Structures are given as C-alpha cells and as structure tokens.
Amino acid sequence: MKYYSLTTPSHKVSFQQAVVSGLAPDGGLYMPEHLPVLSKEFISQLPVLSKEDIGFTIARLFIDESVSDKTLYEIVRETIDFDFPLVALEENVYALELFHGPTLAFKDVGARFLARILQHIAKTIHQEITVLVATSGDTGSAAAHGFYNVEGIRVVILYPSGMVSALQEKQFATLGKNIQAIKIAGTFDDCQQLVKQAFQDEELRKTKFLTSANSINIARLIPQSFYYFFAWLQLSTPKHVVFSVPSGNFGNLTAGVLAKKMGLPIDAFVAATNVNDVVPEYLHTKVFKPRASTQTISNAMDVGNPSNFPRLLALYDNDWDYISKEIYGYAFTDAETRMAMLDVFNQKKYVLDPHGAVGYLGLKKYLGRNPDAQGIFLETAHPSKFPDVVESAIQQPISIHPSLAELANKQIQSLSCTSNFSDFKNLLMKH
C-alpha cells in the first residue's frame, strides 16, 4: 500500500515515510492510494472475532511488510487493551464510551498505536524522532502518555493558553522527561498552523527528524476506525446504523467513513459540532468558509479550520451531492449542550461530557427525521475531565476519576511562546 499527497497525487510514499513525515513536502495530507474492502465473510464473522483480531485484520490492509505480522499484532493488542462498552440510554440511542483508556479520552487509541509504530521505526532508522502535537485538550494528554518514556522519541505539545481545562493541562504538562509542553498565546488553530509551518521549514527538517501525532498523521486514523467495528458488533441486530460524531478536527469522523468504505454496514453519519460549524455549514450550503475558532464549553471541538476536511472530501470524490447523502451536519450552542446534559442526567442518571452531549444532540436531531435508525453517539471523554462544566450543567457534584485526582499536587512544566512562527522555531531549536 502506497500513500499519496492530496495536494500532489503523483507524489507517493511508503507507509513508513507517510508516518514519519506526517505531512507531504507540499503540505498535503497523505491518503492510501486505494481503499481496501473487507470480505463479506469477515463482516459476518465479526461477532465471534476478538477485538485484537479485528484490529489486526484492518491494520494489516494499510501497513506494508516493514512491520511484521507478529509486531503488528502486538502493537494492536497493546493499543486496545481496555474496554469500548456500548451503553443503551433509550430505544435506538446508544453511547459508545471511548474514555476507558489511560487518559480517559478516545484519542488514546490513535496515540498509543502511533507511539508503538514510531518506536518500531525509530529502532530501524537509529535516530531520535521529534513528535509535534497541537492540542485543544485530549490529543495532548493521549500523546504525552502514549509516548512517555518511549526510547528514541521526543514530544513537543503546543496548546492554546487558557483554552484547555485545568485537568487536561495537568495530564500532559506535568510529565517532564521526553515530554515538553508549550503554552501558545493564541487559539488551537494557531497551534495547528505552527505545526504545519514547522514541517515546511527547511532548516527544521534538516536539523530535527520531525513527525506529528495529530490526526493529520495517517497512523492516527487507521486505528480509530477499529472502534466503529467494536460498536457495531455490540448491537444485537444491527440495522440502519447511524453514528453521531462530536467533531472538531474531523479525524474521528474520517476514521468512521474509512470503516464504512471498508465494508462496515453504516447507513449514515452525523457531524455534530458546537458553534464552530464550518462543516455543517458546508453540508447545508456547499460553501466551506474556515474562520477563527470560538471558545466553547466543548473545548476539544473549538476548531475553525478542520485539518482533516480535505481527507473527508477525498473519500467522497470531492462531490457535495455524494457526501451530503451520507453525512448530516448539525451545530449546537453551549446553552443547548448544557440542557442536554441536564436532561439526560435527570431522565437516565447518565453523565455526559460536553463533547458527548453535542454528539447526543446530533443523534436525536437525526432520529427525529429517521426514527427507524439505530443511533450510536460517541462519548469521547470522561465527564470528570470537565468537572466545572459538568457540575454546573447537571447541578450536582460528580466524582473525580482516581487517575485525575492524582494530578492535584503536580506542577505544570510548560514553556510559553507567542503564535509567531519565528519565536516558536527559536524555542524549538533552543530546547
């Protein structure tokens, strides 16, 4: 399997090159040159297969012989060694809980997979790899813990000052060792732009072996497709299945579309966003207008120019009629999000996080028009990562997860920087 640049399709590289580079030299995202399709026999056997066998079978389709079967199976096994429960809230409404990993967020899957792939690569090239990560919250935590103390890997995490929760910040900015956090005076979009500029800076590319752990890296997307299969097989009689995905950078939704293109029977997707609604707006108007992001209570989704949108378009041949038949876009305000959290708690005694609440709202809106569908929304982070928001919404105190309680006395070890690229470059070179 080769990978091509969405900007210059004639530029093709191996899986290893795509992973290590993160972005193509022209700034384009890498995509597989063809989409593998799983056999109908494999789909029919899903209920009797282990999740390790499912993940390995999918990953093997995308990864060449530079990673042996034995190594790849072990990478998959270590990546998904926690639960992915599907919780029924009401008729045809299920929450897929993706927060049972070490940092209590869905991004643990992609980060753990990427960390193990890069560790394998670092051993073969005998050179330290610097991983650049832009985060609006959970990506930083997942990357920091996925790569922590991994030999041959240095991680630099950029995050917008004052725009991640205190607990999220402590998860990635207190570790030290091979993890360096940098607080940027700007938005998540500014952080993301700095990462992209770094990859295109010739001096940096010559002096540091750079790659990315954001969802621009194809090795993040591949394993995120796994849990769509895990969710589907937990339905007793899957029929007219729709996934509602709380969306910011759109890597998670893109992974779901990959699963569908590989043969998983999914009828539709909901792209559920907060007021940063550039993709729902596109799905309604055919016009994509990126803009500065707006801060909300669902902070991990505060993205005004989602970097995976070109991949999503490519999966639908850049055809608006095609994409709008399978993906429905809905956006919700903070007030609507809070009300959904309160209603679900009062009626079901289930605590939604502010991102999952957006996914829930998107699903309910879709089911209002398609009542025969079976709906799954993604609960992407543990609610106790956002205690102030959740407690204010449900008007009740919540228990803090033990792993988060342990962070209380840890000290932030971040550096500070402007959003100016030359300042960031100097800091990166210096440290």
* Catalytic residue positions, numbered: 107
Q: In what order do the strands lie in the sheet with 3-5?
A: 12-13, 3-5, 30-32
Structure tokens at 84: 């992915």
Residue 270 and residue 324 in contact, taking contact as beta carbons nearer than 8 Å: no
Residue 208 and residue 424 in contact, taking contact as beta carbons nearer than 8 Å: no
Which residue has tokens 């959904």?
A: 340
Integer CA distances (angstroms), 221 to 108, 214, 364, in order = 12, 10, 26
Cα gap 104→184, rounded to integer Å: 24
Beta carbons within 10 angstroms of residue 338's beta carbon: 18
Which residue has tokens 């560790």?
A: 119
Residue 288 and residue 309 in contact, taking contact as beta carbons nearer than 8 Å: yes
What letter would DSSP give residue 8?
-
Among 118, 187, 194, which residue's Cα sits nearest to residue 155? 118
Structure tokens at 333: 């305000």
Residues comprising the chain, all counted: 431
Residue 428 and residue 198 in contact, taking contact as beta carbons nearer than 8 Å: yes
Q: What is the CA angle 59-60-61, rounded to 5?
A: 90
Cα gap 421→26, rounded to integer Å: 18
Which residue has tokens 């999914």?
A: 266
Task: Give φ, ψ of 273 to 5 degrees.
Answer: -125, 165
Please provide the DSSP assignment of 231-298 as one string. HHHTSSS--SEEEEEE-SSSHHHHHHHHHHHHT----EEEEEESS--HHHHHHHHS----------SS
Pairing of strands 93-97, 86-90: antiparallel
Cα gap 363→374, rounded to integer Å: 10
